[in-house]
A and B are shown apart, each in its own frame.
Chain A
Amino acid sequence: AQSVAQPEDQVNVAEGNPLTVKCTYSVSGNPYLFWYVQYPNRGLQFLLKYITGDNLVKGSYGFEAEFNKSQTSFHLKKPSALVSDSALYFCAVRDTDTGRRALTFGSGTRLQVQP
């Protein structure tokens, strides 16, 4: 079975400071990993993904994430937070070895960036 854990319900950071949103995963094989962002009353927007290759993945709006196989983590990062980054962030995983094509999502982390 595939699963994702986002240990923090909320992350608070001051504008201009670096931010990290944590994600750990569990799969039986190799993972495809994704980050999505959700603004109020909107659908989920794709930010970035790790499929294979370089462990550091760059995505939209200056976000990046680092895949760490030994720690089974895929933390989302940004060097300098903006107030407009305030939203709900979801990590998701797909286990490539099961043939299952659906993503399993974490519970979400609310990012609050203070001016």
Chain B
Amino acid sequence: DARVTQTPRHKVTEMGQEVTMRCQPILGHNTVFWYRQTMMQGLELLAYFRNRAPLDDSGMPKDRFSAEMPDATLATLKIQPSEPRDSAVYFCASGLINDRVGTEAFFGQGTRLTVV
């Protein structure tokens, strides 16, 4: 049963520490998304990749966040240094998406980040 896998599921860290979240997209999917969910802002798009190339990271605070896809099986989201306002659930999603096919994105279980 193909699924998007995210690790860790939960992370508690102190302010100022580096946080790395990992995502294994579904094999064969060409597009990977990072979303952040908070009570106040709902679901916000942080960044997305197509065929491992970053297409849009305008939703990401550039000074502290970075997203990469070192290979087709791994996407990472890093926060350095972390701040309490970064506390949220971070979702990775993947899909086989192109201009003429409207396939859905499949979401992982999320990483719940708490920065104290």
A107 vs B37: C-alpha distance when bound (angstroms):
10
Q: At the interface, yes or no: A63 with Cβ under 8 Å from chain B?
A: no
Q: Which residues of B contact A107 (CB under 8 A)?
A: 42
The count of residues in chain B whose C-beta lies closer than 8 Å to any C-beta of chain A is 25
Q: Which residues of B contact A102 (CB under 8 A)?
A: 33, 45, 48, 56
A102 vs B105: C-alpha distance when bound (angstroms):
9
A7-49 CB contacts (< 8 Å) to partner B: 32, 34, 36, 41-46, 49
Q: Are B48 and A96 in contact (CB under 8 A)?
A: no
Q: Are B43 and A43 in contact (CB under 8 A)?
A: no
Mark B87-99 against chain A: 1 for CB-CB distance below 8 A, else 0: 0000101000111
Binding site for A on B (CB under 8 A): 4, 31, 33, 35, 42-43, 45, 48, 50, 55-56, 91, 93, 97-99, 102, 104-110, 112
18 cross-chain CB contacts under 8 A: A34-B104, A36-B107, A41-B112, A42-B109, A42-B110, A44-B91, A46-B104, A96-B99, A96-B102, A100-B56, A101-B31, A101-B48, A101-B55, A102-B33, A102-B56, A103-B33, A104-B45, A108-B42
